[in-house]
Structure 1
C-alpha cells in the first residue's frame, strides 16, 4: 500500500510546517512555559484532540472530571481536525501534547521533526467505509468521490489499506477528498457531495440510522495500526519531564475513570458527540473503553512498525528508521515503577 505522506509533510523543514500552521483559522496563544509555582498553582498548558470520535475520550474525560487538575495541571483542550494538522500545531509550539495517529508522528519526523508517542490510544483502526445509495459494491466506487479527514491521517491509511485488494484504486479509479473532520464528511455524504466516507464507529452508527450502508469494516480486517495516541516532542519531554509525566498520569487515570464510572463517561460522550441517544452512547462506551482503548496504554512498537513499513513503500527515508525511534516507553515504565498503575487498578 502506498500512501503519499508527503502530501501532509511536503518539506524537510520544520519552519515550513509552522508557516502552514499560520493559515489555520484557530486562535491559539503560546502555552505557558512556567513550572508549577511554589504555592502549588496548577501549570497551564493546552492539549489537542484531533477527532470528534471516542478514540479521543480519555482527553475529554480528564477535562470534564477534573483529572488534569488532580495531577497539578490547568489544561485547556482544543479540537484540531486531523492527525497531520494536529502534529503541525505541536511542531509550531502552540500546544505541547496532542492525540493523533502514529503515522503522523512518523511522517513529521521524516520531515525533520522530533515528535514522540508516549502512550497508545488504540492499536486498531475503528473506521468503516459508509456509502450512499449509488454504491452497492466495491466496483461501484469507480468514478465516485470518497471522503477522508486529511491526507496522511488515520482515515487515509484505513482507506488505502482496505483498497489493497479492491479492483478499483484510490486516486486512479475514484477521487479521494480531504474534508477536515467526521462531521464534515457526514454532511458531505448526506448532501451527495461524496458517495462514500471513511467514518469512525460513532458516525457510522448515525449514518446507518439515516439509511446509509457500511461497505467495509476496516477494524475487522485484522490490521495492527497506531491509532490515536498521546504524542509530544522529544524536546518537551527532555525539558519538562515532570509536566509530561503529569499529563500521562492524567491520561491513564482518565481511562480508568471512564471504565469504572460508566454513567459519567456516557455523559461526557453525550456532550462531545452532541447526542442524547442513550443506547447509542452506551454502545460507543462499550466499543471504545470496553474494547479498543487499552487499560495500560504502553506505546506499541508492533503497530508503529506496521505504519513505518507502509510509509517506506512511498518514502525511502523511512527505510533507515526503526519503529522504536518513534516511541518513548520510559514514561509509562516510570508510572508503573512508582506504583501509580497498580494503585489505580487495585
Structure 2
C-alpha cells in the first residue's frame, strides 16, 4: 500500500511540475516612462527577482513619456505599464479602454526651478517654463505650480515641450527657458547652473493629489489575466518594501537604470521617494477625480467618470489577504 501511495504521489508531482515551470515562465511586457528614481518599484521588482518569484518572466521596457506609454498599452505593445491618472483619463476620453489598478506614489514631488533673476511671480510672467511633453506629469506639475503663484499657464507663462529632466536643465543653462518643473534629484545634476526654487508642490497650501507612479493595463487584459496582474502588483509591493529597507543596494539599482552615478542625485532621490512610496498602493480617488474633471473641461460632453479609470479591487484583495502585512513584518 505504501509503495502504491508513493507511486501515486510521484505521478502527481510529475504532472504538477511542468505547470509550475510554465507558470514561472509566463511572459509579461512592462514599461516605465522615466529614468527618475520614482520609478523604482518596477526596477526593484525586476532586479531583485520579485516578478519571477510570482511566476513571471518579465521584459521591462523604457518608454520615454506617459503619453507614449499609454499609447503602447492601447496598442498592446506592453501589457502592464506606468501611467498617470491624467494620462489614463485623457486616453479613455478619446475612446481608450485603460484602467489604473495600483498607485505607488499619489502626488507629484516637483519643484518650479527658475533662473536666479526671477525672485517673484511677477518676474516669471511672460517667461517660458519647460516640461517634457504636454499632458505629462512634468506638465501637470508645472501648470499646478504656476497657478499656485496666481498666474495662468499658457497665458501669463508660456509652456514649452523640451524633453526629460537633463534636457530641461540644459535649456535653462542656455536661456531657452527661464524655468522648469523638476522631479526628485534632477537639480543635483545641474552642476554649474545657477537657479532658485520659486515653488514646491510640498509647500503649497493645497496638497496636490495626483495618481503619479501607477500600474495600468487595458480593461480587456485585466479581465482575462486578472491573476497575472495581481501577481505583478504583489511583486511591485515587495519591490517597494525592498527599496525602503535597503538603501545602499537600492541606490546601485537606481544608478543602473538612471545611468547616473552622481551621489547627491542618488541620495536626494532616494530620500524623497522613500517618503512618498505607498505601503498599500491604492489609487487616490480624489486625485483621479480631479484629473477626470481637468480632461472633461477640455472635452465637454464626454461620458467619463472616475470609476471608469480606476479599479482598486486587486489592491483590496491583496491587502485583505494579509500579504502586505507579512511583507512588512519581514516574514
The equivalent residue for 1:86 is: 69
Q: Are 1:243 and 2:228 matched, yes or no?
A: yes
Is the CA contact 1:91–1:113 (under 8 Å) kept in the aligned structure 2?
A: yes
In 2, the alpha carbon distance for the partners of 1:165 and 1:279 equals: 28
The equivalent residue for 2:322 is: 339
In 2, the alpha carbon distance for the partners of 1:197 and 1:65 equals: 34
Give 1:229 deviation, angstroms.
Answer: 0.9
Is the CA contact 2:288–2:306 (under 8 Å) kept in the aligned structure 1?
A: yes
Give 1:265 deviation, angstroms.
Answer: 1.0
Give 1:91 deviation, angstroms.
Answer: 0.7
Number of residue pairs the alignment of both structures matches? 309
Give 1:223 deviation, angstroms.
Answer: 1.6
Residues 46-195 of structure 1: pairs in structure 2 closer than 5 A: 46-166=29-149, 168-195=151-178
The equivalent residue for 1:232 is: 217
In 2, the alpha carbon distance for the partners of 1:165 and 1:265 equals: 34
Q: What is the root-mean-square deviation in Å for CA atoms of aligned residues?
A: 2.1
- CA 1:76–1:186 in structure 2 vs 1: closer, same or farther (change >3 Å)? farther
Give 1:45 deviation, angstroms.
Answer: 2.2
In 2, the alpha carbon distance for the partners of 1:87 and 1:147 equals: 22
The equivalent residue for 2:273 is: 288
- CA 1:195–1:224 in structure 2 vs 1: closer, same or farther (change >3 Å)? same
Residues 37-48 of structure 1: pairs in structure 2 closer than 5 A: 38=19, 39-40=21-22, 41-48=24-31
Q: Are 1:256 and 2:241 matched, yes or no?
A: yes
The equivalent residue for 1:271 is: 256
Give 1:133 deviation, angstroms.
Answer: 3.5
Residues 195-234 of structure 1: pairs in structure 2 closer than 5 A: 195-207=178-190, 210-221=193-204, 222-234=207-219
In 2, the alpha carbon distance for the partners of 1:279 and 1:148 equals: 23
Is the CA contact 2:186–2:265 (under 8 Å) kept in the aligned structure 1?
A: no
Is the CA contact 1:100–1:231 (under 8 Å) kept in the aligned structure 2?
A: yes
Deviations 1:136-159 (A, max 9, x none): 322223332211111111221112
The equivalent residue for 1:305 is: 289
Which of 303, 322, 328 does residue 305 from structure 2 map onto? 322
Unmatched 5+ stretches in structure 2: 1-16
Is the CA contact 1:150–1:179 (under 8 Å) kept in the aligned structure 2?
A: yes
Partner of 2:185, secondary structure, is helix
Partner of 2:27, secondary structure, is strand
Larger of the two Rg values belongs to structure? 2
Is the CA contact 1:49–1:59 (under 8 Å) kept in the aligned structure 2?
A: yes
TM-score w.r.t. length of structure 1: 0.83
